[in-house]
Structure 1
Amino acid sequence: MTPVVRIEEVTPARPLPEHPVAHVAVLVSLNFPGLDEQVAGLVRRFTRVALETLVRLGASYTLLDTSTPLPDPEAAARFDGLLLLGGGDIDGGCYGSSLIDVPHSYGVDARADRDALRAIAATEKAGRPILGICRGSQLLNVHRGGTIIPDIEEFTLHRGGEGRPVFLDEKIRLVPSTRLHGIMGVDSLVGRSGHHQAVDKLGSGLVLAAVAQDGIVEGIEDPERWLIGVQWHPEDDDGPEADRLRLFGGFVEACATG
């Protein structure tokens, strides 16, 4: 597969900190099957903003690009934390789905899924903080034995329809007394969303941390350790910068303090 998105296109202009507070593994597939230029533009922008935010908060990073096989997925556990970014759909076989013709399915790469799940398992075993965004949140749920809604039929709260921009502003309620609620410091927020799938059955040890107006899961977490997944895209710089800094700041702080 000829790369559409190149690493130099997502590398922040800001130099890495000389004395980083934490060194984070950032896992993403910069390229995946069926990637077109419109989606590639989102991958470039979202990945660059995520990396820029880490650096701004004093962290350094190593990019683990699952576009090609990772030599050693378990190496993710050697970092201070793991950030899982968005991308294509997870192969249904990873969570026991037998559906073949899933509406709006895109970007499925079972090998990349397996690499990501191995990285998550190793990082969790090492006791490191994990933050998952969109696909990343779904991967966390699948890792814990949960399932995914293959395609949200009533999608208007979660993504744009035909002929409209894919991403839209979505109102999201945070569940009181969760770690996510404490980090964000608000009962509700407006996040940038463009998803056709979402967490369905929660995986073992996970609890609901955020929910959409129609009841779709928008956030999950493990109350016993620093593991959070959000379905919306805080790294979309069309959304609120303050919310992005709060969430990424909480993650970097957890990585820094071990």
Structure 2
Amino acid sequence: MHRHEVEPPGPAPVGGPRIAVLVSLNFPDLTEPVADLVRRFTGTALATLRELGADHRLVDTSADALGDPAEAADLDGLLVLGGGDVDGALYGVTGPVPHSYGVDRRADDHTLAAIRAAVAAGRPVLGICRGHQLVNVAHGGTLIPDLEDHRLHRGGPGQPMFLDEKVTVTPGTRVADLAGELRLTVRSGHHQAVDRVGGGLVVAARADDGVVEAVEHPERWVVGVQWHPEDPDGADAHRRRLFAGFVAACARPA
């Protein structure tokens, strides 16, 4: 997959915040149907940032030349999108992971370093799906390698991967403020999830089976959501509220 397939057309906004966007466009095991999802989701995320007045620098973490991950702290915010599984060794799993898919340790290491650099510099961070999981791992948390009962979280064999999932948002959290309601229908397609919440983070939403669906830092603008607000089949209003809050935070001085 090439960058031009996801970059929105037209000139970039002038005067708004500049946001680093990390995503792997060609991670291992990528099939054409999943590549089409990555195109749609990434394109929607970038277009939404632009509509909200933000410029972006896209970093393809599957590319050969990645540069210094600490450069994420030089911009006004960091958005980490979805993709393949996080390497189990990064959260204490040494054996094989059932249904493991798309693992790229080099991309994991680069993204974790970028998250830590952005957090240390006081930049807002938004993680989506894989990005949400890496936000948790970056704070010392762990993941459930494979959800035994996946029915609420992704389609089964022969079904579409993504489905509508109900989540309950924790009152008083930043996610609650961004969402504007405590009961959401979101787009999900995941077989892994946050297990032990990382240091300094709190749970901001759960699925009906108790699985953690969002985390955040109570004092810093650091948010991770397991679902995909950038799925164009989801609610446009929810995506815009979440992204607008993120862009507004990026526009403020660190």
2:151 and 2:88 map into 1 onto residues whose CA distance is: 23
2:240 and 2:15 map into 1 onto residues whose CA distance is: 17
Aligned to 1:231: 226
Q: Does 1:240 align with 2:230?
A: no
Displacement of 1:227 in angstroms is 0.2
2:235 and 2:99 map into 1 onto residues whose CA distance is: 28
Displacement of 1:15 in angstroms is 2.8
User: Is the CA contact 1:14–1:55 (under 8 Å) kept in the aligned structure 2?
Assistant: no
Dislocated runs of 4+, deviation >2 Å = none
Q: Does 1:99 align with 2:98?
A: no
Q: Does 1:129 align with 2:144?
A: no
Displacement of 1:14 in angstroms is 4.2
Aligned counterpart in structure 1 of residue 81 of structure 2, from 78, 85, 90 = 85
Task: Provide, for residues 190-220 of structure 1, a one-character-per-residue CA deviation record: whole Å limited to 9, x for no partner.
Answer: 1000000000000000000010000000000
Aligned counterpart in structure 1 of residue 217 of structure 2, from 194, 219, 222 = 222
Letter in 2 for 1:70: L
Displacement of 1:254 in angstroms is 0.1
Alignment of 1:150-161 (within 5 A): 150-161=145-156
1:179 and 1:55 map into 2 onto residues whose CA distance is: 23
SS in structure 2 at match of 1:31: coil
Letter in 1 for 2:93: S
User: Is the CA contact 1:89–1:107 (under 8 Å) kept in the aligned structure 2?
Assistant: yes
Task: Provide, for residues 131-156 of structure 1, a one-character-per-residue CA deviation record: whole Å limited to 9, x for no partner.
Answer: 00000000000001100000001100
Aligned counterpart in structure 2 of residue 166 of structure 1, from 161, 177, 195 = 161
The total of aligned residue pairs comes to 252
2:11 and 2:233 map into 1 onto residues whose CA distance is: 23
Q: Does 1:249 align with 2:237?
A: no
Q: Does 1:49 align with 2:10?
A: no
Displacement of 1:224 in angstroms is 1.0
Q: Which runs of 5+ in 2 are unaligned?
A: none
2:59 and 2:88 map into 1 onto residues whose CA distance is: 23
1:143 and 1:177 map into 2 onto residues whose CA distance is: 24
Q: Does 1:11 align with 2:7?
A: yes
The sequence identity of aligned pairs, in percent, is 60
1:173 and 1:133 map into 2 onto residues whose CA distance is: 17
**TM (normalized to structure 2)?**
0.98
2:192 and 2:204 map into 1 onto residues whose CA distance is: 17
Q: Does 1:70 align with 2:63?
A: no
Task: Provide, for residues 20-69 of structure 1, a one-character-per-residue CA deviation record: whole Å limited to 9, x for no partner.
Answer: 32000001111111101011000100000000000000000000110025
Aligned to 1:193: 188
Alpha-carbon RMSD across the aligned residues, in angstroms, is 0.8
Displacement of 1:243 in angstroms is 0.1
**TM (normalized to structure 1)?**
0.96
